[in-house]
A and B are shown apart, each in its own frame.
Chain A
């Protein structure tokens, strides 16, 4: 793996790790399960901190996704092919970005959604996240890659 690809890979892993942690931090679970009591993890129970961090890492994920999409369209597709694994993960990430984006918009002042829409968005975002996590574990074990040369 080239240096450039390694950088992208580790950047992606860091982003997904923090998005998952701060995303789960939107639910009141880290305090209940005393994970926030572990030295250095107290911030996980601070809702405004995890909220801001989730937005920051979401911005990184959007930037990285857009970058990789256009990089593939203009440059990458000449030398590599997206695998079914890549398409599945891409669709999941797109779903996370869309549902997350709609929730970010909802949080702006004066924006009102129907209550049922909020519940559906919250659940969809959570289910997509869980699906991506489990699928990522599966592809890690089975050594399936996003692209092949």
Chain B
């Protein structure tokens, strides 16, 4: 008997085929954060990190083409106190964030179960849910992608470093002598380009995972939709009786750390300073602005009420 293709079997076969294709590309979709239209986040299990720096070197390899190639000598800048920031002769620095090093390993010696232990922590941009670097950039050079990645467009950035000032962790780093400011008024406005982790956005677009995650031999990092990552983070924290950082910091970030020791303890022992971000609690930087934005809705109402009151008052006096 000849097999017959009914409409039902055709649809069933088509759906099965579609499902298998979808399954094979599910990792790519998850990485792109497109499955349910929500941001993707990374989970970093600090207890697994051995500080081998594989992630640091992988980051440098993959992003080398994006690193600045400044023109020297730098244009004279006015007023005289404006300083050039030049990392082009220190590209091998890996113990802090620089325009040539977007990820570094921070270390903290802490006591766990009565034993002195060194914890190592990969540090880079936190990719905030509502990133002040993006929202407050006066030039539109910093952008947030719909998968939650924030990045700085090197061709547009003027290097004013406002993004660094408003970042609670002071993440973006400046290189002078490169970028659009050279073509405008190099003496009077701008000072280069700001650089930071863009969480390998172009790799993610292609369905690949960020280089730092791929290179890690200890599987310190996990990537996925933010709600799933948060769920995993809470389960992990519960299993090790640990602590979470990044879930609520600055109103929430897409980088979630889980540590066996409290973060305020870690923060007290890590080396902090320029290019070396802290691990302190951070309140939502954009909260005041967003509350005022909500209050702004009342402004036209106040105007209408004022005019109506005057109109009513005049008519009453006329009567």
Interface set of A (CB-CB < 8 Å, partner B): 26-29, 32-34, 47-48, 51-52, 55-56, 58-60, 62-71, 74-75, 101, 104-110, 112, 115-116, 118-122
Contact status A118-B140, CB under 8 Å: yes
List A contacts of B298 (CB < 8 A). Answer: 59
Q: Please report the number of residue pairs spanning A and B whose Cβ atoms sit closer than 8 angstroms.
A: 124
Chain A, residue nearest B151 (CB): A115
Tell me if B143 counts as interface (CB < 8 A to partner A): yes
Q: How far is the CA of A138 from the CA of B11 in the complex (A)?
A: 73
List B contacts of A28 (CB < 8 A). Answer: 138, 160-162, 165
Digit string of B296-315 for contact with A (CB within 8 Å is 1, else 0)? 10111011101110110010
Give min CB distance, B5 to chain A, whole Å: 45
Q: How far is the CA of A2 from the CA of B288 in the complex (A)?
A: 38
Pairs of residues from A and B, 7 with the lowest C-beta to C-beta distance, nearest first: A66-B303, A70-B307, A118-B140, A119-B140, A109-B130, A28-B160, A62-B299
Give min CB distance, B153 to chain A, whole Å: 6
Q: How far is the CA of A67 from the CA of B138 in the complex (A)?
A: 30
List A contacts of B314 (CB < 8 A). Answer: 75
List A contacts of B299 (CB < 8 A). Answer: 58-60, 62-63, 66
Contact status A26-B136, CB under 8 Å: yes
State which of B146, B160, B189, B304 has its C-beta within 8 Å of the C-beta of A66. B304
Contact status A48-B296, CB under 8 Å: no
List B contacts of A106 (CB < 8 A). Answer: 135
Give min CB distance, A9 to chain B, whole Å: 16
Using known A-B contacts A28-B165, A48-B285, determine if residue A62 contacts B303 with beta carbons closer than 8 Å. yes
State which of B137, B138, B296 has its C-beta within 8 Å of the C-beta of A55. B296
Given contacts A59-B296, A62-B296, A119-B156, 8 further A-B contacts (CB under 8 A): A59-B295, A66-B300, A70-B311, A75-B307, A104-B293, A107-B293, A115-B153, A118-B137
List A contacts of B273 (CB < 8 A). Answer: none
Tell me if B3 counts as interface (CB < 8 A to partner A): no
List A contacts of B290 (CB < 8 A). Answer: 107-109
Contact status A52-B162, CB under 8 Å: no
Give min CB distance, B140 to chain A, whole Å: 4
Tell me if B81 counts as interface (CB < 8 A to partner A): yes
Tell me if B207 counts as interface (CB < 8 A to partner A): no
State which of A71, A105, A119 has its C-beta within 8 Å of the C-beta of B310. A71
Tell me if B82 counts as interface (CB < 8 A to partner A): yes
Using known A-B contacts A32-B82, A33-B79, determine if residue A48 contacts B166 with beta carbons closer than 8 Å. yes
State which of A29, A59, A107 has its C-beta within 8 Å of the C-beta of B289. A107
Contact status A26-B138, CB under 8 Å: yes
Q: How far is the CA of A112 from the CA of B165 in the complex (A)?
A: 22
Using known A-B contacts A62-B300, A107-B135, determine if residue A67 contacts B307 with beta carbons closer than 8 Å. yes
Q: Which B residues between 130 and 164 are near A, CB-CB below 8 angstroms? A: 130, 135-140, 143-146, 153, 156, 160-162
List B contacts of A110 (CB < 8 A). Answer: 129-130
Contact status B285-A118, CB under 8 Å: no
Q: How far is the CA of A120 from the CA of B139 in the complex (A)?
A: 9
List A contacts of B310 (CB < 8 A). Answer: 71, 75
List B contacts of A122 (CB < 8 A). Answer: 138-140
Give min CB distance, B283 to chain A, whole Å: 11
Q: How far is the CA of A69 from the CA of B304 in the complex (A)?
A: 9
Tell me if B216 counts as interface (CB < 8 A to partner A): no
Contact status B162-A47, CB under 8 Å: yes
Give min CB distance, A65 to chain B, whole Å: 7
Give min CB distance, B145 to chain A, whole Å: 8
Q: How far is the CA of A107 from the CA of B299 in the complex (A)?
A: 18
List B contacts of A33 (CB < 8 A). Answer: 79
Q: How far is the CA of A83 from the CA of B234 in the complex (A)?
A: 65
Tell me if B292 counts as interface (CB < 8 A to partner A): yes
Give min CB distance, B274 to chain A, whole Å: 17
Digit string of B248-263 for contact with A (CB within 8 Å is 1, else 0)? 0001000000000000
Contact status B289-A51, CB under 8 Å: yes
Q: How far is the CA of A60 from the CA of B303 in the complex (A)?
A: 9
Contact status B307-A115, CB under 8 Å: no
List B contacts of A34 (CB < 8 A). Answer: 79, 81
List B contacts of A75 (CB < 8 A). Answer: 307, 310-311, 314
Q: How far is the CA of A47 from the CA of B136 in the complex (A)?
A: 9
State which of A58, A64, A104, A116 has its C-beta within 8 Å of the C-beta of B303. A64
State which of A58, A64, A68, A116 has its C-beta within 8 Å of the C-beta of B296. A58
